[in-house]
Chain A
């Protein structure tokens, strides 16, 4: 049995407190009125030097300019108001996605009747324990979004009234249906998670394979449900932030990010636990397999990222290409930097077969991959909500710390609840002796 060390518990609580303070600061320091934004803009104008100021004076007489400045200030005000919300949303989605990806990977192991991965089942179940809490947090966030912020512009009746494209989509994109869909996805995912957990624990004590068969069937059903709802979830929760834009492989693209972050997290948690003297049955062949998946799915992600980019770049249809124009104009460093982090680094670090067995190599590559995929989600969400006003500052970092604290607490707490070896599985011997 694993015991949640008090050091780790303190760390997770500290992360939560620091994160909470930072998130609170982010909300309080967001501008409270348009006038404040005007002062901010004026200050940044002044900072640009004398030339800008004289130009301002030369044209200040014109009414048009004054009006457009007014509109600009209001626009920036809304973007800055969105910033702490978006930062929180990126962090909430990122950790929820890790948990959900782990659940999908876990279900695949059951359905494919894989032998090697059984020794890692309890680690995966620990990570998916975050799913109910993360789901509730996200759902609360969506409910608040309908009234408290402007992340999802189609939720604003005023915007919809002036936008024919969104009006045409109103049958799908409306607040009640959006919340109902979110509730359905989350509830069924969590139901499968809890059922599977119950079945593997029951299998440990049972003498026949009835639980194992139920697990197989429910996992297969879950995967069918998941593949449809994961795609819809990515349209709802991320693609609808840009309600005019659409990409047909968006669901896969989000899934690639999800699965590679999930496997990386499984590897990192396993290495941590092994370092603490648990998981004595996990050998370096198991780590090797996880690292192979990290490598493979990193390349899969790059493939989908590039497929989406190249088709839109080549076709150059205005309504589609705006998505990448925004990212190239305002987000060049994170947008191209994450391709380096998510493709070039894993490719070079994890290509060598021997490196995939060395824990500190996996940890290094894993941390880079997780940072890269955080930025991936950041660049999916931020351009639509805060535009060119993005900045990785206190709000963003504290949001990650806050959710990371909750994640660590929930995950490691869940792992104390059951033995770390799912010894009832019929393939457990194969898994323990697994070598490559």
Chain B
């Protein structure tokens, strides 16, 4: 199995979007698209599956909520009950309204941080990782579409040249 890919470069996101649709219609397999900014609708055009990060966010929020309930119960009711503003902390239920802001903040905190960590792990990003983008210009103003060479290479290049690309490179992917 060859790891050969064709990298077609575009200088406009609209042209890129049309190219992605054409390439998919011609049944070529798009390995990856590198863009300097999120292109609206690109995920749908590439036929990527919907992200499930929203589901993890909900679950992390629930974890945060449960954690804050346990934490406030331990701090304010069990370990060191205090009388604040004439509201003695002998029962969690009776003091619950005062804990609601903390419960809310903890849900948000857990959902946000764990979601970011999940996203990094899923995208295989970590400190000192070497950049994967094939060309530094994709961090500035260029878009690169990577298409797997599967069969006739010359035919694929000829096809891609018609999609408005400004530069084509054939390379081995590791």
Whether a CB of chain B sits under 8 angstroms from the CB of A313 is yes
Given A314-B85, A316-B86, A353-B97 contact (CB < 8 Å): no
Complex formed: what's the CA distance from A314 to B87 in Å?
8
Task: Please provide the chain A residues from 335 to 360 with a CB less than 8 Å away from any CB of chain B in the complex.
Answer: 351-353
Whether a CB of chain B sits under 8 angstroms from the CB of A272 is no
Determine the chain B residues whose CB is within 8 A of the CB of A313 once the complex forms.
97
The 19 sampled A-B contact pairs (Cβ below 8 Å) are A306-B97, A306-B100, A309-B97, A310-B97, A310-B98, A310-B100, A310-B101, A313-B97, A314-B85, A314-B87, A314-B97, A314-B98, A315-B85, A316-B85, A316-B86, A316-B87, A351-B58, A352-B54, A353-B54
Besides the known contacts A316-B86, A316-B87, 17 further A-B residue pairs in the complex with CB atoms under 8 A apart: A306-B97, A306-B100, A309-B97, A310-B97, A310-B98, A310-B100, A310-B101, A313-B97, A314-B85, A314-B87, A314-B97, A314-B98, A315-B85, A316-B85, A351-B58, A352-B54, A353-B54
Chain B at the A interface: SS class: helix
Determine the chain B residues whose CB is within 8 A of the CB of A314 once the complex forms.
85, 87, 97-98
Complex formed: what's the CA distance from A315 to B87 in Å?
10
Output the least CB separation between A284 and chain B (Å): 15
Output the least CB separation between A92 and chain B (Å): 33
Shortest Cβ-Cβ A-B pairs, 3 listed: A310-B97, A313-B97, A314-B85
A-B contacts counted at CB < 8 A amount to: 19
Complex formed: what's the CA distance from A284 to B58 in Å?
24
Chain A at the B interface: SS class: helix
Chain B window 81-121, contacts with chain A (Cβ cutoff 8 Å), 1 for yes, 0 for no = 00001110000000001101100000000000000000000
Determine the chain A residues whose CB is within 8 A of the CB of B86 once the complex forms.
316
Output the least CB separation between A433 and chain B (Å): 13
Output the least CB separation between B108 and chain A (Å): 12
The count of residues in chain A whose C-beta lies closer than 8 Å to any C-beta of chain B is: 10
Output the least CB separation between A115 and chain B (Å): 15
Complex formed: what's the CA distance from A232 to B134 in Å?
62
Task: Please provide the chain B residues from 147 to 166 with a CB less than 8 Å away from any CB of chain A in the complex.
Answer: none
Q: Taking CB as reference atom, which chain B residue is nearest A354?
A: B50
Complex formed: what's the CA distance from A309 to B98 in Å?
11
Output the least CB separation between A57 and chain B (Å): 40
Determine the chain A residues whose CB is within 8 A of the CB of B87 once the complex forms.
314, 316
Complex formed: what's the CA distance from A353 to B57 in Å?
13
Q: Taking CB as reference atom, which chain A residue is nearest B41?
A: A435
B-binding residues in A (CB < 8 A): 306, 309-310, 313-316, 351-353
Determine the chain B residues whose CB is within 8 A of the CB of A315 once the complex forms.
85
Q: Taking CB as reference atom, which chain B residue is nearest A435?
A: B41
Q: Taking CB as reference atom, which chain B residue is nearest A309?
A: B97
Q: Taking CB as reference atom, which chain A residue is nearest B57?
A: A351
Complex formed: what's the CA distance from A250 to B54 in Å?
34
Q: Taking CB as reference atom, which chain B residue is nearest A316?
A: B86
Output the least CB separation between B100 and chain A (Å): 6
Output the least CB separation between A303 and chain B (Å): 9
Determine the chain B residues whose CB is within 8 A of the CB of A351 once the complex forms.
58
Determine the chain B residues whose CB is within 8 A of the CB of A353 once the complex forms.
54
Complex formed: what's the CA distance from A309 to B97 in Å?
9
Complex formed: what's the CA distance from A316 to B101 in Å?
18
Output the least CB separation between B103 and chain A (Å): 11
Determine the chain A residues whose CB is within 8 A of the CB of B54 once the complex forms.
352-353
Q: Taking CB as reference atom, which chain B residue is nearest A306?
A: B100
Determine the chain A residues whose CB is within 8 A of the CB of B58 once the complex forms.
351
Complex formed: what's the CA distance from A314 to B100 in Å?
12
Determine the chain A residues whose CB is within 8 A of the CB of B85 once the complex forms.
314-316
Output the least CB separation between A48 and chain B (Å): 30
Q: Taking CB as reference atom, which chain A residue is nearest B61?
A: A351
Chain B window 29-69, contacts with chain A (Cβ cutoff 8 Å), 1 for yes, 0 for no = 00000000000000000000000001000100000000000
Output the least CB separation between B139 and chain A (Å): 28
Complex formed: what's the CA distance from A314 to B54 in Å?
35
Q: Taking CB as reference atom, which chain B residue is nearest A311?
A: B97
Complex formed: what's the CA distance from A247 to B86 in Å?
22
Determine the chain B residues whose CB is within 8 A of the CB of A316 once the complex forms.
85-87
Q: Taking CB as reference atom, which chain B residue is nearest A310?
A: B97
Output the least CB separation between B17 and chain A (Å): 14
Complex formed: what's the CA distance from A315 to B101 in Å?
16
Complex formed: what's the CA distance from A192 to B104 in Å?
40
Determine the chain A residues whose CB is within 8 A of the CB of B101 once the complex forms.
310
Complex formed: what's the CA distance from A306 to B97 in Å?
9
Q: Taking CB as reference atom, which chain B residue is nearest A351?
A: B58
Determine the chain A residues whose CB is within 8 A of the CB of B97 once the complex forms.
306, 309-310, 313-314
Q: Taking CB as reference atom, which chain A residue is nearest B55?
A: A352
Output the least CB separation between B41 and chain A (Å): 9
Most chain B beta-carbon neighbours within 10 Å: one of A309, A314, A316, A352 = A314
Determine the chain A residues whose CB is within 8 A of the CB of B98 once the complex forms.
310, 314
Q: Taking CB as reference atom, which chain B residue is nearest A307?
A: B101
Complex formed: what's the CA distance from A313 to B98 in Å?
9
Q: Taking CB as reference atom, which chain A residue is nearest B101?
A: A310
Complex formed: what's the CA distance from A351 to B111 in Å?
14
Q: Taking CB as reference atom, which chain B residue is nearest A348?
A: B58
Output the least CB separation between A172 and chain B (Å): 32
Output the least CB separation between A304 and chain B (Å): 13
Q: Taking CB as reference atom, which chain B residue is nearest A313?
A: B97
Output the least CB separation between B70 and chain A (Å): 21
Complex formed: what's the CA distance from A309 to B100 in Å?
12
Complex formed: what's the CA distance from A336 to B132 in Å?
54
Output the least CB separation between A4 and chain B (Å): 40
Output the least CB separation between B49 and chain A (Å): 13
